[in-house]
Amino acid sequence: MKNWCTKLFMVATLMSASLGRRCIVKTDQNKKENPSIDDHPSNELFNEQFRPQIHFTPSKNWMNDPNGMVYVDGTYHLFFQYNPEANVWGNMSWGHATSTDLMHWTEHPVAITRDKLGDVFSGSAVIDKYNTAGFGNDTMIAIFTSAGSAQQQSIAYSIDDGLTFTRYENNPIIKNDNDLQRDPKVFWHEESKQWIMCLAQGWKMGIEIWGSTDLKNWNKLSEFKHDLPDRPKIQWECPDLISFEYNGGYIIGSGTMYFIGDFDGKRFTAEERNYPLWIDYGMDNYAGVTWGNTGDRRVFLGWMNNWEYADKVPNSPWRSAMTLPRELKLKELNGELILSSPVVKEIEGIAKKWNKFESINDSKFRIINDKIDKAYQVQLNIELNKDSTITLSNSKDEKLIIEIDAANRKLTTHRDEKTGQSEFSDKYVIKSIDAPLNTESSTLKLDVYVDQSSVEILSDDGRMSMTNLVFPSSIYDSLSVSGAKYTIKVRPIKSIHA
């Protein structure tokens, strides 16, 4: 067995599912930097059709990438790409929400809006413990892409826990003349005593690594690229560079690709592996990043949508949700390390008691009361001595079919016209979505989290993850299993809006 008890680093990059270029939508630049709470949508309505009950959504309007995720004094800050004006992409700003348990969220006024440099694209936030930037000890500093005629990097600081921000007067901190540099992810690298920034290169399909001692003046240290000859040419976005000791936990994903290797303070060098490796094999987990300032814990959150149909999904007055938060860990599979992403332990705080069912083949169970229960978790332990089929369905015979190929250790989800609404986009229907089971056991453990418009499937405590949107007229409340022997238990999960 290899000795993995050395420090490892991973670069995780997100690759856009869309082959089109996002446009800039110009709006009034004289709007207030920080709208008051009265300007912000209220949290009264969370019972609309398809409204997630255990996932974060803004009360109204468009949301995409998670941004600026940082943990401070017991509070998780989630900033996010947000359009305060409409339910479509444009006028990109940073929305803001906070939580003490990663489940229940309080939405705050918009934190940062566009200025003369352009829209506020994705980025990160840090806590400047030792006042390296000169804005004060323990100041929260946001680092983001200013997207106007070019994509340049800017900073802003907050002295009131992220409720309001003041832009640095000498922005941009990294000047640029094209649209191939965005989504800065910043962290303090103790070994080299400097801040490290990762920047995605978009269609150049690479990552730039920069260094700074004060968050204002930056030096380019290196670039990371990796040839993927069997993959289509699609852009790289939302990078992350993460370190951890094996057994200590750690890593960073519509399609989320990652690399394992070493970082020497300047350059990342990937191990020889059969890349790409994926955090999530589903269609709807994109732009995921980790919270900063969490010690040895690595908590990941993704945007639960896909650029191919993001602006067409049947959600109103909001559009898009985040995935369930996951805790990233390194696990071993067949002598190699992979990233696992189980749902965070905080889910226990909103989960009800388990209901057990008999182990009977070819049976159908009504697993929840859809008039009372708004979301639930199914846990299956199923033998891998023959193929099996798992079907989630409702009274209108809308169904999601999940097949397990025992011999090839593969799981396939069929998201077709039978799952519910699908006519909103010709890109939405995917007849077969495949993933490896990522297990060495003769019995497969599956955790399936079902909400009003999503199904997240995890095998063997997150060694494989598949996240997909679905739009049934009512939540799937029945389950059937055929094929191999199995055991099953189900527990409802309380709405975070209750």
Q: Which of 28, 65, 230, 416 is catalytic?
A: 65
- Cα–Cα distance list, 271 to 120, 158, 278, 334 (Å): 34, 39, 15, 16
Residue 309 CA to residue 469 CA, distance in Å, equals 11
418 SS3 class: helix
Active site residue 240: no
Rounded Cα distance, 323 and 257, in Å: 17
At 138, list the tokens: 């323990």
Q: Write the CB contacts of 326 (distance below 8 Å, at least 6 apart in sequence).
A: 299, 300, 301, 341, 342, 343, 344, 462, 465
Chain centroid offset of residue 304 CA: 7
| Nearby residues of 209 by Cβ (< 8 Å), 6 or more positions away | 196, 197, 198, 199, 220, 221, 222, 223, 224, 241, 266, 267, 268
Give dist(CA 469, CA 269) in Å, integer: 35
Task: Say if CB 339 and CB 328 are below 8 A apart.
Answer: yes
Both tokens assigned to 140: 């929260």
Q: Looking at the annotation, which residues are catalytic?
A: 65
